[in-house]
Amino acid sequence: MEVFCNNKIPLFFVVLLATLTTLAQGQGTQNGFYQTSCPRVEAIVQAAVAAADRANAGVPPGLVRMFFHDCFVNGCDACILLNGRSTERTAPPNSLLRGFEIIDAAKTELERVCPGVVSCADILALDARDSVLLVINYFLNTLGELRTGKGLNAQDLVTLSGAHTIGTAACALFSYRLYNFNNTNGPDTSIDQAFLPTLRNLCPNGGDGSRRVALDTGSQNRFDKSYYANLRNGRGVIEFDQVL
């Protein structure tokens, strides 16, 4: 789909990720919710989404679309899974059909591992989140091609990334870095260990995912070099900023 092309991908999906994860957490599920009852839930869902993406790159956007339709009307209750096939009278896109299959596959495996524990609504939310992350990772992997096409060098990209230094981010967008990064049950090791307690205090595990944190710690309302110094010292709040 043309709408997912070009260098508008990162900003669109970062904003969308923040919106979707905040919305999902607002329904009651928090990071680590299934840590005890079904610890493999995120790994299983991630594997299903990754396999689908390898087979058809149009599937992740379809999953995000499904999540949007599910949550927009009556909240994130997985109602789209009950009538989604029957209401798509005019041949739904292949990505949506595959979306149903991915959710079914994840649900089947989860029922085998921890029967009756993980709700379909949460599977759909995790699918959408992982789909967005896949696209962001794709952007990171092709960053060199994008900057070459636009005549930008690495310094240009880093400078542009500092344009949002007066902004904030919801805890839901980055708290995965603080407690269970890449399913390690630990924090992102790129975070400065002296800075980690500060972030955890602002965003406690299972806390309010909508709480907002300054992206430029110590210099939120000034456009200066503090943002870049923070990144060099492992004090980037958003993973994308720290990697870039």
Q: Residue positions in the annotated binding site for Ca(2+)?
A: 70, 73, 75, 77, 88, 165, 216, 224
d(CA 198, CA 194): 8
- Residue 133 among the catalytic residues: no
DSSP reduced 3-state for 141 = helix
C-alpha gyration radius of the chain = 19
Owner of token pair 């029967």: 115
Helix (H, G, I), strand (E, B) or coil at 50: helix
Binding-site residue numbers for heme b are 164
Write out the H or E segment, with its range, that includes residue 130. Answer: helix 120-141
Q: Which residues make up each annotated binding site? A: 70, 73, 75, 77, 88, 164-165, 216, 224
Kindly name the residue from 35, 50, 69, 158 that is annotated as catalytic: 69
Place of tokens 């870095």: 177
CA distance 9 to 20: 16
Catalytic residues: 69
